[in-house]
Amino acid sequence: MSVTETTPPVTPQSAEGPQRSSFRNILRVAEIDSRLLGMLGALAIIWIVFHILSGGTFLTARNLWNLSVQTAVVAIMATGMVMVIVSRNIDLSVGSMLGMLGMTMAVVQTEVLPKWLGLGHWAIFPLTLIFGLVLGALVGGLQGVAVAYVRVPSFIVTLGGYLVWRGAAWALSRGRTIAPMDRTFQLLGGGSRGAIGETWTWIVAAVLCLGIIFLMWNARRQRIKFGFRLRPKWAEIGIGVISCAAVLGTVFVLNRYYLPENLAKRYAIEHGIAYPPGGLQIPLGLANPVLIVLGVAMVMTFVATRRKFGRYVFAIGGNPEAAELGGINTRRTLVKTFVLMGILVAIAAAVSIGRLNAATSGLGTLSELYVIAAAVIGGTSLLGGIGTIPGAVLGALVTQSLQSGMVLMGIESAYQQIVIGIVLVIAVAIDSVFRKRATT
């Protein structure tokens, strides 16, 4: 069945429902991803509902700041999970791997390195982190080789990994809780010291804005160069202005969260300032974990859409045989996706232990499910070939919003699980309905 034959001409359709299709036309002409827009809409609804139900605490700078930090760990891993799922695989081991890598990094920084360097040495932080990243890459690579070269289904390999790494986390510590973390390492987890302050936050926002404008300008230039169809000027300007406004608006809100009173008083004493009666308002700015998410998301988007590796992953996910026949080294590419996943889990593990300021052998339990849920809610298709990095980050934000919001409302954890489970299924159901409609 040829698509061109069955697609009716544009005019009769617009006569049927002029308004709806004209909105769709706008989206189509402006090349806006309607899925992403839909998710933003859903997120807005969730936030507003929680704001009302929680008696006005949800949409406060403080809660949104908390939310941004609470989302980080899952969001970091979800960006890697997108690539794994796009390549028609799955990784069930990320939660256990998080536990194992977190525990290893905790042991290295509290028990191994201090023996050589002494407690509190500056080199403990970088050495621990590098060690964790390398170990993550190796562990991911090991699973990747089993999947790609030994041809064991990834479901089985990572189900094995799920057990192996959780066991390893326990064996390393014999069930102990390891704490406290290195002073510098704690900064990775955010907290009151682990944020970049007001000025730097504005600088980051400005850079992001300029980056968006540059990318759009560059894309337009390339299209002109190759004679491709251009977006209309109004769309280009509109999207640029809206994205920039969104970035600046977010930063404006996050910058309204001030250093907690007690810490501000301590700060005043340390800096010899008289504490003003109205309180000292020192904005914390973006927290480090959020900065890490931004960095990871940008790098991963670049890798997924602009690098050969990313294109190969999508090609393999779309049609593995065709990709192989087309000359792609599918096995090596698959190993790379798992290596990348391992590295991202290591980053997430570092954030996680930094934030808790401790490593427990149960760290990351069940987080594989939240990571997969975030990727899937963010539009990644389990059939492979489809998925976006920003979608997955948004998906993580949606699931965490639901969780945090329900805690604010005092809903019991059993019901929280029920709600998140239902939302997961509904999100995928809506998606598949829309996709079907889009193709017919």
Nearest residue (CB) to another protein, 86 versus 293: 293
Nearest residue (CB) to another protein, 176 versus 220: 176
Shortest approach of another protein to residue 152 CB, angstroms? 10
SS3 of residue 368 by DSSP: helix
Nearest residue (CB) to another protein, 277 versus 327: 277
Distance CA 401, CA 16 (A): 38
Nearest residue (CB) to another protein, 101 versus 386: 101
Nearest residue (CB) to another protein, 239 versus 408: 408
Shortest approach of another protein to residue 85 CB, angstroms? 24
Distance CA 39, CA 395 (A): 8
Distance CA 175, CA 169 (A): 8
Nearest residue (CB) to another protein, 137 versus 359: 359
Shortest approach of another protein to residue 184 CB, angstroms? 15
Shortest approach of another protein to residue 191 CB, angstroms? 5
Helices assigned H by DSSP within 120-153: 124-148
Nearest residue (CB) to another protein, 212 versus 263: 263
Shortest approach of another protein to residue 419 CB, angstroms? 14
Shortest approach of another protein to residue 68 CB, angstroms? 12
Nearest residue (CB) to another protein, 154 versus 352: 352
Which residues of the shown chain bind another protein in the complex (CB under 8 A)? 54, 57, 60, 62-63, 66, 70, 149-150, 167, 170, 173-180, 190-192, 260-263, 266, 352, 355-358, 360, 362-363, 365-366, 403-404, 407-408, 410, 412-414, 417
Shortest approach of another protein to residue 361 CB, angstroms? 8
Nearest residue (CB) to another protein, 321 versus 412: 412
Residue with tokens 């706008």: 26
Shortest approach of another protein to residue 358 CB, angstroms? 5
Shortest approach of another protein to residue 440 CB, angstroms? 42
Is the preceding peptide bond at 180 cis, omega within 30 degrees of 0? yes
